[in-house]
Structure 1
Amino acid sequence: MKRAGAEDGSMHEKELKIGDIAHLTGLSEQDVRALIQTYDSLFTYRTIGRARLFPQKAVKIVRELAELSGRGLSPDEIAEEVKSGRKSAAPEEPAEEFDRDAAPLPPEVVIELQVMRDTLARQERRIVRLVEELEREREMGVEEADRLRKAVDDLEERLSVQQEQLALVAEWVDYFDRQMDEVTRPVLERFRRTVAKKSDSGQSPGRSG
């Protein structure tokens, strides 16, 4: 029943194959297939066997897509432009009249523009990755600098503590030296006096003789 209805509709409007659309727009069949595949939601068609049959308005849509592709728009922006244009456009004219009035872009231009957009998209993704890597390296550099700064601060603090300890030890050494001098000086004096007395007593008999 659905196919019969479609056949009834085809009596009022000639349906077109992809080759017909390519001939009417001046594009290659490969370019037309690529546009239909990319913007499939914009097209209505029915299938007979392996062939797809499109209404004549598909010619206008393909022309609009080819023209908008040359403006550097993204696929989403192009689809939105075509949808809004279809809503506000006047009733469509037969495909033959569009063929006389329109000036489609050469197929090679459409393909080159698509390649350029894909290349730019890849470059943008690469730039984003590089920026992320640089940001990670910068964060790692900051963390490494903080770690080194903390290590230097720790070493300086340890050095300061050791210097204080050395100063304290030096004070104790001086103190003990003074104490030893005070203790050993009387002993040495007594020892000298004792030695002197013995020396004097040993020399006295010789003098008397």
Structure 2
Amino acid sequence: GIELCEPSYLYNLLNQYRRVSRLAEPNYLCLLDARSQREYNESHIVTARRIAQSPTGEYLVPDAEELRCVRHCVVYDCETNSLDCCDYEEEEKEKGTSASESEKPNSGSLCSQTAEQGAALHHALGLQQFTPHPVLVLRGGYQSFSASYHFLRTQKVLWMPQELDNFQPYPVEILPGKLYLGNFKQACDPQILKDLKIKAQVNISQQPAAL
């Protein structure tokens, strides 16, 4: 199946860890960028790979065997917000931009517009057959995610296993933009505090040092 996921959900997926970041686990997360090559090169979400297909339509990135084993598969484009034409039409009504009955385009036209704007959904439909878990489409796409989590953008394409082992996770987000749960080391990191705009902390660890 296919489901929408919120930017905060992807943020928390990226920042899970045990002894080291879970991004180092090969079957944990497959994060796929469905935007153009130019947009991907300019910046993308950390560890994301750009979707690639052969001339015959077969997926080269990711391959089918990889998807059968991966736990989380997330696809994003620029700004997809819905999974079907009906949702698209409802969004237009809420924005007050829907045409009157005499001017309203037919459903085929709406689907065409959605397909043009929803590359993530297009690829998710093709990828869902390969994975036993739902393929997640990032709500709001790269624009929404990068607006909230600009510090998780990068131009880096290749990640070595040691780099993923050493990836420094951020605190998990409990209430988007307001409440986070982290460890003492994260609480003492000035860059994390700056990136998340944390103004106050509650220490429930056994560390006696003042924050």
Q: Same fold (TM over 0.5)?
A: no
- Structure ranking higher in helix proportion: 1
Larger radius of gyration between Structure 1 and Structure 2? 1
Instruction: Identify which of structures 1 and 2 has the higher relative contact order when contacts are C-alpha pairs closer than 8 Å and 6+ apart.
Output: 2
TM-score (norm 2): 0.21
TM-score, normalisation: structure 1: 0.21
Higher strand share: 2
